[in-house]
Structure 1
Amino acid sequence: MANLLTPLLLCYLTAIFFIPALAGNPAAYKSDSDFRDAILSTTNKYRAEHKAPPLKWDQALADASLKHAKKCIFEHSGNPGGENIAAGFPDPSSVVQSWGNERDKFDFANGGFSEETGHFTQLVWKATKAVGCARVDCGRKNGARRMRGRRGVAVAQAKGGKADGWYVVCEYSPAGNVKGGYRENVQKKG
């Protein structure tokens, strides 16, 4: 009997402690204040690590983000400010972490824009003062498939640029990623 209880106990403990940790905090997508707080706290953590002042929440930017996010199309809006987009992450903090982790690919010695690091550089751009974000649950109606990656579960984008899962759009003001401004605005961690 004791031999049977050990595997059952192990399964039970795994289900209680490990599986919820993998799921992130999807509840943070449901509440406006939890969403805003998660975005701001994670954003400002990365900004502090890169010697940039904290951002303030701007509701007009959040409204512009929502207008674009409601389309569930995974592409930049063309708005004049800076913009980061993501889809399929389990919670808002994971979205910002994915942008922040692009720093591992950024060339601090030479600066400059790259598709692989543009979210990160906008995130920590020193001259940026405000952010406003929105999220829309685009579901899986666009045919995305779940994929497991090195940073957890994400949603692969379907053809045609459709966003699936939770689609997050953040607008920044003033915009970052300004040619010639990288050395001054994107600092090394520390």
Structure 2
Amino acid sequence: MRSFLTLPPLLTLATASPELFPRQQSSPPPTNPSFISTVLSTVNAYRSAHAARPLTWDANLAAFALQKANGCRLNHAGPYGENAYWTWYYPPTYTPDFNAEIGYAFEAWNSQEEIDAYLAGDLMGGSHFTQTVWKATERIGCAFSSGRCTGNPEQEWWFYCDFWPRGNLRGSYVGNVTV
């Protein structure tokens, strides 16, 4: 059984996407060309729908995201814009479809668009959606946790994306987010 949580928690219905790289027990490294291609095509589809330029891959951001993903906990820290996604599986021997998980993460993050449209006049800090489509952002790096997190009978996986320049700057919403 597959379960997931986006931070902050949201109920999200997800649909599977075609598999671009095979299922595997450990997560794809953030240097895997198919992983990078899947992330970029997914994020840039959302950005295109909101009049934002495509992002490019940044290996340094991906390395930073991997450190946080391997920490197996929410850790909003550092100079970058950041989105975090957490999912778990039972039984723990289940092999996740990481290609689909990328789609689920972005779908969950972008389900916050409706909330942000309501708050556009007085954005208090932004969200995963606003960071994803922030027009001034140019680069992204993402990573999954490299294996099972400890202390949990389920199999947990964390997915982090870091963005540069960071978005969600108070007072800059109108010029950077087209809802």
User: TM (normalized to structure 2)?
Assistant: 0.71
Alignment pair present for 1:181 and 2:172: yes
Counterpart contact for 1:138–1:167, Cα < 8 Å: no
Comparing 98-107 with 54-63, which one deviates more in the overlay? 98-107
Contact preservation (8 Å) 2:28, 2:144: no
Q: Deviations over 1:15-54 (max 9, x none)?
A: xxxxxx7698573853622221221111101100100000
Equivalent position of 1:82 in the other structure? 81
Label 1:64 to 1:140 Cα distance change in 2 as closer, same or farther (>3 A): closer
Classify the secondary structure of the residue corresponding to 1:27: coil
Provide the identity percentage: 32
**Which has the bigger relative contact order, CA under 8 A and spacing at least 6?**
2
Contact 1:128–1:173 (CA under 8 A) maintained in structure 2: yes
Residues 52, 108 of structure 1: CA spacing in aligned structure 2 closer, same or farther, 3 A cutoff? farther
Alignment check: 8 A CA contact 2:120 2:173 kept: no
User: Which whole-Å CA distance do the structure 1 matches of 2:156 and 2:68 have between them?
Assistant: 15
* Bigger helix share: 1
Structure 2: state its 5+ residue gaps.
1-14, 89-99
**Aligned partner of residue 51 in structure 2, secondary structure:** coil
Tell me which residue corresponds to 1:27.
23
Aligned-residue CA RMSD (Å): 2.6
> Aligned partner of 2:28: which letter?
K
2:3 maps to none
The aligned counterpart of 1:56 is 56
Quick one: which amino acid aligns to residue 173 of structure 1?
W
| Corresponding letter in the other structure for 1:133 | C
Judged with a 3 Å threshold, the aligned counterparts in structure 2 of structure 1 residues 61 and 109 are, in CA distance, closer, same or farther, namely closer
Larger CA Rg, structure 1 vs 2: 1
Question: Which whole-Å deviations, capped at 9, do the CAs of 1:125-169 have from their partners, x for residues lacking one?
Answer: 000000001111443643376xxxxxxxxxxxxxxxxxx622111
Cα distance in structure 2, aligned partners of 1:130 and 1:91 = 21
Structure 1: 4+ residue segments shifted above 3 A:
21-26, 28-31
Deviation at 1:73, TM superposition (A): 1.7
Provide the C-alpha distance between the structure 1 equivalents of 2:128 and 2:86, rounded to a whole number of angstroms.
Answer: 13
Conserved 8 A contact 1:122-1:176: yes
